[in-house]
Amino acid sequence: MPAPKKTARRSLLVTSAVLSSLALAAPVAVAAPKPSGSPSASPSATPPASMSTVGGARLGRPGTQVNLASGVPVLPKDVSARSWIVADAETGDVLAAHNAHWRLAPASTLKMLFADTLLPKFPRDTKHKVVPSDLAGIGPGSSMVGIKEEETYTVHDLWLGVFLRSGNDAVHVLSAMNKGVENTVAEMNQHAEELQALDTHVVSPDGYDAEGQVSSAYDLTLIARSGMQKQDFREYASTVTAKFPGETKKNKKGKKVRKSFEIQNTNRLLAGDADVPVYEGIAGVKNGNTTNAGATFTGVAERGGKVLLVTVMNPEKDEHNEVYKETARLFDWGFKAAGKVQPVGELVPPRSAARAGASPDANPSGEAGGSGDGGKGPAATGSKPVAGAPAAEGSSGIGVALGVTGGALVLLAGGAFLVNRRWPLPDLVRRRSRP
């Protein structure tokens, strides 16, 4: 089928959301089995014969699912991941998948669910002084951004630590602000159920290996799609470098000073590496790596009027940055195949999308108070951030890659917004190619 004309069709998609979202019920969600198995054991080399069918029957089958036909490019052969998925972020079409619902350890990609759950709760300028109990229970060998006890950080600082450095210390501090780890885990599991991410079971909010903690390529893609509805999430996920507050020390004159240090995003498709160039059009989202999970990654990229989400879990090839290389190959295939290949399934909407949409206090960015900018951000002023612009005070990089413009989210009289069954992302801010 021919590729859609983006500018002409977008307003039709949005307008039709009001009519179609009430008429079309969400697909039936089939719950996956309860999590089992030890996180210390190596994952099985063979996917289950029967998996969840959320999003379509073919997505529950083991092996590669794709509708190859005349004019559809062949999938790359050098993809060794145990599980992966390529989806259109706006229409929700799953273009191809491999063991999409295989429940595997997610590592720090689970922080996407943490962020999507907690981001709306705390304005970014909220300050918090760290006490020893905030940092209790962090697993040995965890990735850390460098938070110190008795130092004060803003919520903005903490989210930069979560997204850029995958800091488990930042996750635990935010969890402490959210009535503790146990409460945060419960809320994350509730939110996963709302998103119909039914393969996901959270035990530790930071993604650290834990008994029974699992997700799937399908679920991580759903979660990323939900997160990208939020302006703050988009901003943090696309930030390449930022300044992070250091430890307060006395200088030679005995005066207390607190300097900042630079942190860089560990997403190699966003920041680049010796053997991985920055991927054209990349806008996030999150990477992870643990002993049990291996390497995991979910990315979103825009090119030629198409926005794709790709999730790759646990490549079998033991090569440096392999998860990013395989993600790039699948992105390349997806952009060539988009508009030509018939989908094998779909990304389902949240349960609430079958009703009225978001909470009554949601604003056009999909936030519920999380921006903390008093309505002075890009969405409020009508300005359009551009690639390479500062993402926020003290940070720099891609900027808000997927901005809220026009009327992409349809506001109703009650203050809620409706999304159609396929839940399109907000309008895009065109991105420049990076060197």
3-state secondary structure the chain: CCCCCHHHHHHHHHHHHHHHHHHCCCCCCCCCCCCCCCCCCCCCCCCCCCCCCCCCHHHHCCCEECECCCCCCCCCCCCCEEEEEEEECCCCEEEEEECCCCCECCHHHHHHHHHHHHHHHCCCCCEEECCHHHHCCCCCCCCCCCCCCCCEEEHHHHHHHHHHHCCHHHHHHHHHHCCCHHHHHHHHHHHHHHCCCCCCECCCCCCCCCCCCEECHHHHHHHHHHHCCCHHHHHHHCEEEEEEEEEEEECCCCCEEEEEEEEECCCHHHHCECCECCCCCEEEEEEEEECCCEEEEEEEEEECCEEEEEEEEEECCCCCCHHHHHHHHHHHHHHHHCCCCECCEECCCCHHHHCCCCCCCCCCCCCCCCCCCCCCCHHHHCCCCCCCCCCECCEEECCCCCCCCCCCCEECCCCCEECCCCCCCCCCCCCCCCC
* β-bridge mates for residue 312, sequence order: 84, 297
Of residues 309, 266, 281, 310, the one with CA closest to residue 108: 266
The catalytic position among 108, 204, 216, 226 is: 108
Q: Is 36 part of the annotated catalytic residue set? A: no
Catalytic annotation present for 127:
no
166 is catalytic: yes
β-partners of residue 84 are: 98, 312
User: Which residue among the candidates 21, 52, 142, 166 is catalytic per the annotation?
Assistant: 166
Nearest to 357 by CA among 291, 296, 278, 417: 417
Active-site choice (21, 52, 83, 111): 111
Which residues are known to be catalytic?
A: 108, 111, 166
